[in-house]
Amino acid sequence: MRVAVFSTKAYDREFLERANAGRHELRFLEPRLQVETASLAAGVAAVCVFVNDDLDANVIVTLAKSGTRLIALRCAGYNNVDLAAARAHDLAVTRVPAYSPYAVAEHTVGLILALDRKLHRAYNRVREGNFALDGLLGFDLHGRTVGLIGTGRIGTVVVEILTGFGCRLLAFDPVPNDKCRSLGVSYVSLDELLSRSDILTLHCPLTGENRHLIDAPALQRMKPGAMLINTSRGALIDTLAVIEALKSGRLGYLGLDVYEEEEQIFFEDRSNLIISDDIFTRLLTFPNVIITGHQAFFTRDALENIAATTIRNLSEFETAGTSENLVAVRSA
């Protein structure tokens, strides 16, 4: 099958080529898929896309007109695809539902530890010969209450890890899971979760209903000085409200691997450029904020699994017209 692979980085090419072993004709393209670049997919049966490619209705119409039949996501989330438009234009959508919950969960815990023990500041101090401890005071994770929003694959691994730290665990999820319950998680309402958690961490998908789930009222209900971690999707958080909460000291720590306008910023070297997003740059000024550029998934193990599943999805679709990793699409 001829496949246009958008948003290609050297590491995507390396892992996909190895998994593909010549089966499909992969055309690697550096640009993001968006209206302006959709014509690059002319004549291919499938496009292979990542988190910040934009599969809105216009792009989907262009793809359908030029013969594309499959959108193969090489990620788990599919909030960047207009599923109703895909269905209306008879485009199938596949994804990689699970490639390494460990990668994202471990990065989440890394952010928690780094913020708590101020490792980002300690690293710089020691390199400059400053061994003073003032300002680096942390807290024990043992005995602290961690609240999870979403206890699916990634949330469950976070629970497993934090159990080892001796944390108390609360969760909010419309579909509670028994494994988390057996590990000692108490499922509570969102309100209770917000008001009781020392650390709040987000592990749910972004949907039409939960945009800005963490907004100004939610931040107001959180414990003063609490830590907020988001390794899920940027728009789960109202960034402006979070900045106000950081300025007032209401929010004590913020760890982000995702940002609501990240498609304009992440995945490129911009160290010689001016970042024009004033909201993002404001976030960078806080000493109690750590931002990573959507790298939680980025382990060798995860990239191998992503590539293998993506190639399998393409092969299944080519031979059977479907795939076990088909995303259920709503009616238009």
Euclidean distance between CA atoms 323 and 326, whole angstroms: 5
Amino acid at 325: N
Q: How many residues does the chain have?
A: 332
Q: Is 297 in the site for ligand NAI (CB under 6 A)?
A: yes
Please choose, from the candidates 136, 259, 267, 149, the residue with its C-alpha nearest in 3D space to the C-alpha of residue 205: 149
Question: Between residues 24 and 153, which has the closer beta carbon with respect to ligand NAI?
Answer: 153
Please choose, from the candidates 4, 114, 16, the residue with its C-alpha nearest in 3D space to the C-alpha of residue 310: 16
Q: In the set 294, 305, 307, 309, which binds ligand NAI (CB under 6 A)?
A: 294
Question: Between residues 7 and 151, which has the closer beta carbon with respect to ligand NAI?
Answer: 151
Q: Binding segment for ligand NAI among 18-26, 27-35, 143-151, 268-276 (CB under 6 A)?
A: 143-151
**Collapsed DSSP state (helix, strand, coil) of residue 264:** helix
Q: Is 173 in the site for ligand NAI (CB under 6 A)?
A: yes
Euclidean distance between CA atoms 77 and 97, whole angstroms: 8
Q: Is 174 in the site for ligand NAI (CB under 6 A)?
A: yes
Please choose, from the candidates 189, 167, 64, 38, the residue with its C-alpha nearest in 3D space to the C-alpha of residue 108: 167
- Min dist. Cβ of residue 242 to ligand NAI (A): 17
Q: Is 96 in the site for ligand NAI (CB under 6 A)?
A: no
Which residues are catalytic, by number? Answer: 233, 262, 294
Question: Between residues 45 and 199, which has the closer beta carbon with respect to ligand NAI?
Answer: 199
Q: Is 95 in the site for ligand NAI (CB under 6 A)?
A: no
Q: Is 296 in the site for ligand NAI (CB under 6 A)?
A: yes
Q: Is 309 in the site for ligand NAI (CB under 6 A)?
A: no
Euclidean distance between CA atoms 330 and 284, whole angstroms: 39
Q: Which residue has the tokens 């485009």?
A: 91
Question: Between residues 71 and 258, which has the closer beta carbon with respect to ligand NAI?
Answer: 258
Please choose, from the candidates 263, 308, 299, 267, the residue with its C-alpha nearest in 3D space to the C-alpha of residue 96: 308
String marking each residue 41-80 x if it binds ligand NAI according to CB under 6 A: -----------------------------------xx---
Q: In the set 41, 104, 185, 311, which binds ligand NAI (CB under 6 A)?
A: 104
- Min dist. Cβ of residue 148 to ligand NAI (A): 9
Q: Binding segment for ligand NAI among 63-71, 81-89, 134-142, 172-180 (CB under 6 A)?
A: 172-180
Burial string for 78-116 (b: 16+ CB within 10 Å, else e) reads bebbbbebbbbbebbbbbbbebbbbbbbebbbbbbebbb
Question: Between residues 101 and 255, which has the closer beta carbon with respect to ligand NAI?
Answer: 101
Give strand ranges (E) for 233-303: 251-256, 289-291
Contact 192, 218 (CB under 8 A): no
Q: Is 163 in the site for ligand NAI (CB under 6 A)?
A: no
Q: In the set 170, 242, 258, 329, which binds ligand NAI (CB under 6 A)?
A: 258
DSSP characters for 15-40?
HHHHHHTTSSEEEE--SPPSGGGGGG
Tokens of 81: 């695809």
Question: Between residues 145 and 210, which has the closer beta carbon with respect to ligand NAI?
Answer: 210
- Min dist. Cβ of residue 235 to ligand NAI (A): 10
Question: Between residues 33 and 104, which has the closer beta carbon with respect to ligand NAI?
Answer: 104
Q: Which residues bind ligand NAI (CB under 6 A)?
A: 76-77, 98, 101, 104, 149-155, 172-175, 203-206, 210, 231-233, 257-258, 294, 296-297
